[in-house]
A = this chain, B = another copy of it.
Amino acid sequence: MIGVESHLREKFIKVRNQSIKLCQPLKPEDYVVQPIVDVSPPKWHLAHTTWFFEQFLLIPNKSGYKVFDDDFSYLFNSYYETVGERVLRPNRGNMTRPGTDEIYKYRKYVDNQMLEFLVRNEINAALSNMLELGFHHEQQHQELLVTDIKFILGHNPLFPEYLTSGKEIPQRSNMDEEYIEVMGGLHSIGHRKNGFHFDNEKGVHNVFLHDFKILNRLITNGEYLEFMENGGYNNFEYWLSEGWEWANGLETNAPMYWHRMDDGWYRFTMHGLKPVIPSAPVTHVSYFEANAFANWKGKRLPTEFEWEAASNGLLEADVNQGNFVENDYLDPIAHQDGNNQMFGDAWEWTSSAYLPYPYYKTAESAIGEYNGKFMINQMVLRGGSCATPKDHIRNTYRNFWHPHLRWQFTGIRLAENI
């Protein structure tokens, strides 16, 4: 058993450090603000992920554990009604105290306590599962840290750079498009392996699919620009009714972070404001935009079941062939041969609403609030983006967002009937 625990300690240290690493480029002020309700302050993410380990691991399991500060449960609970009152989400950005320093102390305290706990205690299956949930919870927030920081910097008129390494996003030409056939029939959907997964992926079940074709790569900025130049934002025929209303409220008829300059379109990236690269995947589009684009093309978005069926085996292949490396530009890059861009580029909007699988069972206790209660008015995204931690990516992973949101690295893949 010692091997397991040592592995868990290493994993714990690695995951926890990664959150801190992501915040290295920030100035003290960047940690604080919440410019829209969906974007949380970076310091809140740092504290909330820590609170998770304190609340669900240390308090119930470590004997004699003394909470770091009684107020923090109130301050850093995100949405767990079971655990008591909490600061209302829209007010997160007004809480200047505790300061970032204090939160780093909180992290250190809880980390030390956790490591002590992991050394001294036997980690049974339940604990190990909770710990893994803590890792994945933190990884989810790491992705949010990236996208929330991008939002905070990208809406500042100075367009500050987050990555100043000088490394430029590679400009390479795009591969041809190809629609790959997938045979219909009964497909088994849902997570069935031993590894970690959320409750919403559970409940393996059969879904009958009709034959279909799916694109071998993501839609590019260049293709999306064609849609824009063809009046895509001005023709209601392509849009869902609520999407049309949404699009009419946009300041710029383009993906988020695009700016029209004298010499063409630019995008805010983690390296600052840069010209749009036509061969790179389009990102930061809403479901409404993805759906309108598909209609304009005369195609459709895949269902999440089609996507899962089409992706079967591809992640393992990618990993084996070395196609799947972490993309440290924090920006998707053009597609290269032998790789269908299904993982690690952009979250791909599917045409499936986020609903429970047939055998879905809500977990008991606060952890049961994790996923199920969001199963309304959201659409499923599959794949994982350039901001998703590599070992947080699975082909059964069900991400979900409201159809109008686009501050995540969201992209488009098309499908069609045969």
Q: B-contacting residues of A (Cβ < 8 Å)? A: 27-33, 35, 43, 71, 74-75, 79, 81-82, 87, 91, 93-101, 152-153, 155-158, 160, 186, 205-208, 210, 236-237, 239-244, 287-288, 300, 351-353, 355-356, 358-359, 368, 373-377, 403, 417
Q: Is the CB of B186 within 8 A of A208?
A: yes
Identical copies in the complex: 4
Give the CA-CA distance A377 to B373 in the complex, in Å: 15
A29 interface neighbour in B28, B206, B243, B287, Cβ under 8 Å: B28
Q: Which residue of B lies closest to A152 (CB)?
A: B96
Q: Is the CB of A94 within 8 A of B152?
A: yes
Q: A243 — which chain B residues lie within 8 A by C-beta?
A: 376
Q: A82 — which chain B residues lie within 8 A by C-beta?
A: 237
Q: Is the CB of B27 within 8 A of A96?
A: yes
Q: Which 4 A-B pairs have the closest CB atoms?
A: A353-B353, A28-B28, A35-B94, A29-B96
Closest beta carbon of chain B to A188's beta carbon, Å: 10
| Known contacts A75-B157, A351-B356, A358-B417; A376/B240 CB under 8 A | yes
Q: Is the CB of B377 within 8 A of A156?
A: no
Q: A403 — which chain B residues lie within 8 A by C-beta?
A: 376-377
Q: A152 — which chain B residues lie within 8 A by C-beta?
A: 94, 96
Q: A358 — which chain B residues lie within 8 A by C-beta?
A: 210, 417
Q: Is the CB of A207 within 8 A of B208?
A: yes
Q: Is the CB of B242 within 8 A of A377?
A: yes
Give the CA-CA distance A359 to B240 in the complex, in Å: 18
Q: Is the CB of A97 within 8 A of B355?
A: no
| Known contacts A32-B29, A210-B206; A153/B100 CB under 8 A | no
Q: A352 — which chain B residues lie within 8 A by C-beta?
A: 355
Q: A287 — which chain B residues lie within 8 A by C-beta?
A: 376
26 pairs, A vs B, C-beta closer than 8 Å:
A27-B101, A28-B29, A28-B100, A29-B99, A30-B97, A32-B33, A32-B96, A33-B94, A74-B157, A81-B237, A82-B237, A94-B152, A94-B155, A94-B156, A95-B157, A97-B153, A97-B158, A207-B208, A210-B359, A240-B375, A243-B376, A352-B355, A353-B355, A358-B417, A377-B377, A377-B403
Q: Is the CB of B32 within 8 A of A240?
A: no
| A33, A35, A288, A300 pick with most chain B CB within 10 angstroms | A33
| Known contacts A28-B99, A29-B100, A206-B208; A158/B71 CB under 8 A | yes
Q: A30 — which chain B residues lie within 8 A by C-beta?
A: 96-97
| A153, A155, A236, A358 pick with most chain B CB within 10 angstroms | A358
Give the CA-CA distance A210 to B368 in the complex, in Å: 24
Q: A98 — which chain B residues lie within 8 A by C-beta?
A: 158
| A158, A186, A239 pick with most chain B CB within 10 angstroms | A158
Closest beta carbon of chain B to A155's beta carbon, Å: 6
Closest beta carbon of chain B to A296's beta carbon, Å: 13
Q: Is the CB of B208 within 8 A of A96?
A: no
Closest beta carbon of chain B to A356's beta carbon, Å: 7
Q: Which residue of B lies closest to A96 (CB)?
A: B29
Q: Which residue of B lies closest to A151 (CB)?
A: B94
